[in-house]
A and B are shown apart, each in its own frame.
Chain A
Amino acid sequence: MTTVFLADDEKLVRRSLEKTLLRAGYDVLLASDCISGGEVFAENADKVDIAILDLNMPDFDGMPKPGAGLDLLARLKEQKPSLPVIILTAYDEVTKAKDAVSGGASAFFVKGREQGLVELIQKILAEA
């Protein structure tokens, strides 16, 4: 069973993505910000096959911060360097998303077409 770790502060987006991932046959672990994300991942680091992190969400101090997802990305990579990570961009901060890719993320994905995200996950896992 493949386990996907999803961190997004937007409740409906998170729930909708979760349902899509569940239907696609994945196990899903959820977090709503960097703090909870750090904790959930620390407990389940071994299980998680791929992480999907929102770019903008509350940071490790609990304050909303653009690009906080990159902080979480760094934390995850510390614990599991081989982990594939997809960065979700709500805004089209493609520059930042590209920074994310150079910072260790496998890809970035502009929110909106959930089926596209499933295909992207399948592609990354197949390559891994």
Chain B
Amino acid sequence: MNETDPRLMPRVLYIEDDENARFLVRRLLQGKYLVLETDDPLDGLSLAEDTQPNLVLIDENMPHMKGSEVATRLRKTLPEARLVIVSAESSEGARERALVAGAVGFISKPINVDTFVEQVDSFLDGKREELEEAEQHMQAYQEELVERFEGNVRQLTQTIERNRYLLAQNNNMIAMLERRQMLLEAAARVGQAVTSILDIDDLLMQTVDIICSEFEFYYSGIFLLSDDKHWAELRAGYGDAGKEMMRADFRLPVDRNSMIGLSILEKKGQLTADVEAQESRFKNPYLKDTRSEIALPLMVKSQVLGALTVQSDQLSAFAEEDVTALQSMADQVAIAINNARLLQELENANNELVRTKTFEAIATATGEAIHWVGNKAAPIPGSTQRLREDFSNLLAMLSLLRKREQHGAELEALDEAVQDLLEEANERGLKLDELASALLSYPPKRLMALLDIESTLEDLQIIEHSAEIILGIKEDMIGPARQRKPASFSLAEMLTTLVNNMGLPKDAVETQWPGDLPHAFGDARQIEQVFNNLVKNAWEAMEGQTDAKIWIDARIADEPDHLLVTIKDNGPGIPAGIQEKIWVSFFTTKGDRGGTGLGLSACMQIVNQNNGKIWLQSESGRGATFFVLLPMANNQLSSRRKQL
């Protein structure tokens, strides 16, 4: 084979996506032609323009563009080039389509290696395959082209729409991520803010403020469960609506009729995208603009403390992500509430301890003072008694002296005794002579006033009475301090007897306790004195009240192994200002109507000594309730445990 300058060789471009076919054609044509290749029809179009090949071989079946379409296109840009379609398509019309598209020939695949070069040569030499009924085939090809074009347009439109949709989705995703980020940051802020606040009300108020300001929600509120767990009570509410609801002591029953109730019952967050559509939702008159809302339980471990509500004036304002973020915030708030509560309980226990210890100390100190005073007063009744005797004796002597004639010599001894008496009185500085001459000068009326027996006896009585009171106080104090004889006793029997013996009007006292009330343990006599005092106090506090009533109630206490007795009245109550003072010795509200002010002080001492507790709940004008907690008797404990 002659060495030929490749620049002088005819250029053949082969547009084919099958690598094996390209390899074969390259091998067949190499040396004789300068073979250019590409596997992509669009690439082929530009390559053809750049290299101006003499002949272009085009595979019919390629992605994106058919070979015949490439031919049509090249017919316009390279009018001189010979175009040949190479195709495995054996169907009717494949060859005709190639020819009407602008090709000069059609070579079938698989390529026949014996004839291929010859075929290429002939096309380069100017061979052109003839086509009959060209018009008809042209029309068919055009129809096909338009159809393909329409398909492409449709596909492109779909692609654009798909792109637009993807873009929107991306934007949504970004917005959602941003919002989620914001919520999590806000949640973290709430977490930081709330865990450092130990006052519960302050904590809840700050939480709803942060939620509304950070998240720009319409309203947020926090409910806590009531002690009996039947109510969710609003403890913090945002804005003016919140304030109004707080003033109105807003609360919701824990049932399925509100989202708050439901979230507490199910221990699960509740989401309503459109409140109008939610039939069961509680319609809150304070929050008319709410369109969507969520309610999240406040939980510590598995215990529900309350619930958080967040409301928006937009429809569907909450995504699942919001629920997650807000729930994590609710969890932190719950922990903070729990911490604050634990602290409060600790403080209460501590205050209670300090209170009890203080009263004990006061009671002990006053007790000692009373004993001291009482002991100093001990001789008074004896001295008074002797003065009364002395005074009577003096009067008897006077009467004897008046009957001097009648008794005569019998009075000699008396005269002597009187003589001695007068001398001794003068010696002791009583100056009887001076007093006697003064008496002589007084008119009878003045004399009567000077020697007033009634007044003298009255003075003695005053001294005696005052001493009695002091000694009486001392004996009152002996009550609580006397040796205790703790034993098991029936509270029910004690209270029944007590009420019967107090002589109160029928129906004034109402008692209630279970038939199987266990026995209490303590000094029955002392404890009876406590109940006696409490009932008596209650009755006296209601003096003049026509509807005066006392309720006595005994039951097993919440504290393990204890009984609780409550004594409640509908009297004037005890003002908050003196509720602590009533336990202090000598404090009395009864004025001079009796009472030493030792009753409640002694009650507290007795109850404390019997390992119980006594306290009071009262509000001015709403009666008073005294609570007495007493240990349950041991034998009762064991028998009760056996029953369990």
Contacts and interface: CB of A to CB of B under 8 A. Distances in A.
Q: Do A and B bind each other?
A: yes
Interface of A: 10, 12-13, 15-17, 19-20, 23, 90-92, 94-95, 98, 110-115
B474 interface: yes
Q: Is the interface of B mostly helix, strand, loop or mixed?
A: helix
A13 B376 CA distance: 8
Interface stretch (B213-221, B309-317, B475-483): B475-483
B386 A112 contact: no
A115 B386 CA distance: 11
A24 to B, nearest CB: 11
Given A92-B482, A114-B385, 17 more contacts: A10-B378, A12-B379, A13-B375, A16-B379, A17-B379, A19-B382, A20-B382, A23-B389, A92-B371, A92-B477, A95-B483, A98-B483, A111-B375, A112-B374, A112-B378, A112-B471, A115-B381
A8 B477 CA distance: 23
B383 A16 contact: yes
Contacts of B471: 112-113
B148 to A, nearest CB: 119
16 contacts: A12-B376, A13-B375, A13-B379, A17-B382, A19-B382, A20-B382, A90-B371, A90-B375, A92-B371, A92-B478, A92-B481, A111-B375, A111-B378, A112-B374, A112-B475, A114-B385
B478 A115 contact: no
Given A20-B386, A110-B478, A94 B371 contact: no
Nearest to A23: B386
A13 B378 contact: yes
Given A90-B371, A95-B483, A112-B374, A15 B379 contact: yes
A114 B371 contact: no
Interface string B363-406: 00000000100111111011101100100000000000000000
Contacts of A114: 379, 381-382, 385
A12 B182 CA distance: 87
A98 B475 CA distance: 18
Contacts of B475: 112
Interface residues of B, number: 21
Contacts of B386: 19-20, 23
Closest 3 CB pairs of A and B: A16-B379, A114-B382, A92-B478
Nearest to A92: B478
A121 to B, nearest CB: 14
A75 B345 CA distance: 58
Contacts of B377: 112
B474 A112 contact: yes
Nearest to B374: A112
Contacts of A91: 371
Given A19-B386, A90-B375, A112 B381 contact: yes
A113 B381 contact: yes
Contacts of B374: 112
A94 to B, nearest CB: 5
Contacts of B385: 20, 114-115
Contacts of A16: 378-379, 382-383
Nearest to A115: B385
Of listed A15, A23, A95, A112, residue having the most chain B CB within 10 A: A112
Contacts of A112: 374, 377-378, 381, 471, 474-475
A108 to B, nearest CB: 12
A40 to B, nearest CB: 21
Nearest to A111: B378
Interface in B450-504: 471, 474-475, 477-478, 481-483
Contacts of A115: 381-382, 385
A19 B387 CA distance: 11
